[in-house]
């Protein structure tokens, strides 16, 4: 039996996020275009005593993230063990975290996706990615995309995925904020401020992605949750303005925020954006990344 597995998993940015009405469980209907980016976490999974599920963090969130059954990573391991009837399951997980916590980049979801892939390998389950998708969807709306990676349209709760054809590489600069925003409170603020919108994906964005036209992709970034995130954290307006003044091709709040995402024309331009953003005290840190990249993958 395999004793240890390492898995790399990306973060996501929503190039478009359209928010419609709610279903009977209170989930909003979404029309979104996800892109997986190279700012990611690494999960190391090792076999341990049967019934022993252990978790530790290094990096972002270490020291304050829960490491008990409330953590999505532990829930993912236990759900997989249950669905595949793994007798004597146990795992010791170490997560090297770079994705900001409660940052709108799906950090917890990424870890859950990585744990599914890691435990599948560790326990020799032989499950395909398609087998893992419904388990991922039970864990959270962003988890299935972090398994898939690349660039994809998400509909329904965000879990019905269709890969999108893209050309080229997109250079991203992310401005991390002090503190996070809770996803449910951002959706609640959206409901307070706005009526449900159309969930149609803007065709010019898809055309720009197909053509590899970064300037047109930048011009067509859109996020219906942005107004709600700005209402809860007003300093984000200044962060977005700084990036645009420094020549970003597009500037947007990532998902439910508060991380802000800036599209650069090149790697060198991304570096300039990072320098311009880091002078603002409202920005905790800047990170650069590129996309699209693969979903959760076992490392050799
Ligand atoms: C904002 C996004 O990141 C965009 O990709 C996702 O929609 C959020 O995905 P997530 O964090 O995996 O969300 P979940 O863990 O499934 O749900 C957390 C909470 O977000 C809200 N939520 C989430 C997804 C959705 N389609 N409608 C919602 O209203 C609900 O209040 C839900 O209780
Ligand atoms: N492995 C994990 N990593 C980060 N947060 C976790 C994890 N497990 C549980 N959480 C909890 O989930 C909350 C949201 O964290 P997360 O980093 O996933 O937010 P997010 O990136 O804004 O999510 P999304 O973009 O999917 O809406 C945190 O406040 C934390 O308490």
Is 2 a residue whose pLDDT tops 80?
A: no
Q: Tell how far the Cα of 274 is from the centroid of ligand 2, in angstroms.
A: 24
Q: Which of 107, 147, 223 to mutate to test the pocket of ligand 2 (most atoms within 8 A of CB)?
A: 107
What local confidence, expressed as pLDDT, does residue 196 receive? Answer: 86
Which ligand approaches the C-alpha of residue 60 most closely? 2
What local confidence, expressed as pLDDT, does residue 201 receive? Answer: 97
Give me the domains of the chain, ranges plus CATH numbers.
Answer: 4-163 (3.30.230.10), 170-291 (3.30.70.890)
Q: Tell how far the Cα of 80 is from the centroid of ligand 1, in angstroms.
A: 21
Cβ count within 10 A of residue 194:
13
Residues flagged as binding site for ATP: 100-110
pLDDT tens-digit readout, 109-153: 999 999 999 999 999 999 999 999 999 999 999 999 999 999 999
pLDDT tens-digit readout, 182-239: 999 999 999 999 988 899 999 999 999 999 999 999 999 999 999 999 999 999 999 9
Is 62 a residue whose pLDDT tops 80?
A: yes
pLDDT tens-digit readout, 264-289: 999 999 999 999 999 999 999 999 99
Q: CB within 6 Å of ligand 1 — which residues?
A: 14, 17, 27-28, 30, 32, 106, 109, 140-142, 157-158, 183-184, 187, 255-256
Is 1 a residue whose pLDDT tops 60?
A: no
Q: pLDDT above 70 covers what percent of the chain?
A: 99
Residues flagged as binding site: 100-110
Q: Which of 13, 14, 27 to mutate to test the pocket of ligand 1 (most atoms within 8 A of CB)?
A: 27
Q: How would DSSP label each residue in the chain? A: ---EEEEEEEEEEEEEEEEEEE-TTSPEEEEEEEEEEEEEEEEEEE--STT-EEEEEEETTTTTS--STTSHHHHHHHHHHHHTT-TT--EEEEEEE-SPTTSSS-HHHHHHHHHHHHHHHHTT----HHHHHHHHHHH-TTHHHHHHBSEEEEEETTTEEEE----S-EEEEEEEESS---HHHHHHHHHHH------PPPHHHHHHHHHT-HHHHHHT-EETTHHHHHHH-TTHHHHHHHHHHTT-SEEEE-TTSS-EEEEESSHHHHHHHHHHHHTSTTEEEEEEEEE--BSSEE--
pLDDT tens-digit readout, 161-175: 999 999 999 999 999
């Amino acid at each position: 039996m395999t004793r240890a597995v390492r898995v790399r998993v990306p973060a996501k940015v929503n190039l478009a996020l359209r928010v419609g009405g709610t279903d009977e469980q209170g989930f909003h209907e979404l029309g979104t275009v996800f892109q997986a980016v190279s700012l990611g976490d690494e999960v190391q999974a090792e076999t341990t005593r049967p019934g022993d599920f252990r978790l530790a963090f290094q990096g972002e969130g270490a020291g304050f993230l829960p490491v008990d059954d409330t953590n999505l990573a532990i829930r993912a391991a236990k759900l997989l063990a249950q669905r595949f009837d793994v007798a004597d399951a146990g795992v010791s997980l170490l997560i090297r975290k770079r994705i900001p916590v409660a940052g709108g980049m799906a950090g917890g979801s990424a870890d859950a996706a990585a744990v599914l892939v890691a435990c599948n390998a560790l326990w020799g389950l032989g499950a395909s990615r398609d087998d893992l998708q419904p388990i991922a969807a039970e864990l959270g709306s962003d988890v299935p995309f972090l398994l898939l990676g690349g660039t994809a349209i998400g509909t329904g709760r965000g879990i019905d995925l269709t890969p999108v054809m893209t050309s080229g590489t997109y250079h991203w600069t992310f401005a991390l904020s002090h503190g996070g925003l809770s996803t449910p409170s951002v959706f609640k603020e959206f409901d307070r401020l706005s009526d449900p919108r159309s969930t149609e994906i803007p065709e010019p964005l898809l055309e720009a992605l197909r053509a590899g036209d970064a300037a047109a992709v930048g011009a067509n970034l859109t996020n219906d949750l942005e107004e709600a995130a700005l209402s809860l954290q007003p300093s984000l307006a200044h962060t977005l303005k700084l990036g645009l003044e420094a020549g970003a091709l597009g500037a947007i709040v990532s998902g439910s925020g508060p991380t802000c995402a800036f599209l650069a024309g090149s790697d060198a331009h991304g570096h300039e954006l990072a320098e311009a953003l880091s002078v603002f005290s409202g920005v905790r840190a800047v990170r650069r990344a590129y996309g699209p990249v693969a979903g959760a993958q076992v490392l050799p």
